[in-house]
Amino acid sequence: MIVGLVVILVFGSDKLPEIARGIARAMNTVRNATDDIKNEISKTADEHGFTEDVKQITSKIEEVKDQIEETGSIKRRF
């Protein structure tokens, strides 16, 4: 709220819609670039057969996390 007040004082209320549109465009550009990067990484991983390896590694990590959580709760009881 304070930030909004400062923005209005610095830029004026007449420039506020223009600034908001600029920020929205920038956010959309960043979001689209992020999606493009994610898609390119997924595509490359699929082409090189890394997808299955990543799934196996993720599964092992989850197993270890579950074991740690179980052990942690046991230690807290003692």
What letter would DSSP give residue 12? Answer: -
pLDDT at site 55 = 83
- For the chain, which residues make up each domain, given as ranges? 2-77
Q: Is the pLDDT of residue 73 over 70?
A: no
Mind listing the pLDDT tens digit for each residue in 17-51? Answer: 898 899 899 999 999 999 999 899 888 888 888 87
**Residues 6 or more apart from 51 whose CB is under 8 A from it?**
42, 45
Is the pTM higher than 0.75? no
Q: How confident is the model at residue 72 (pLDDT cuts 50, 70, 90)?
A: low
Helix, strand, coil in percent for the chain, rounding step 5: 90, 0, 10
Residue carrying the six token digits 């908001």: 20
Q: Please state, in angstroms and rounded to a whole number, the distance separating the CA atoms of residues 41 and 59.
A: 20
Taking the C-alpha atoms of residue 71 and residue 50, their distance in angstroms, rounded to an integer, is 32
pLDDT level of residue 75 (50, 70, 90 thresholds)? low
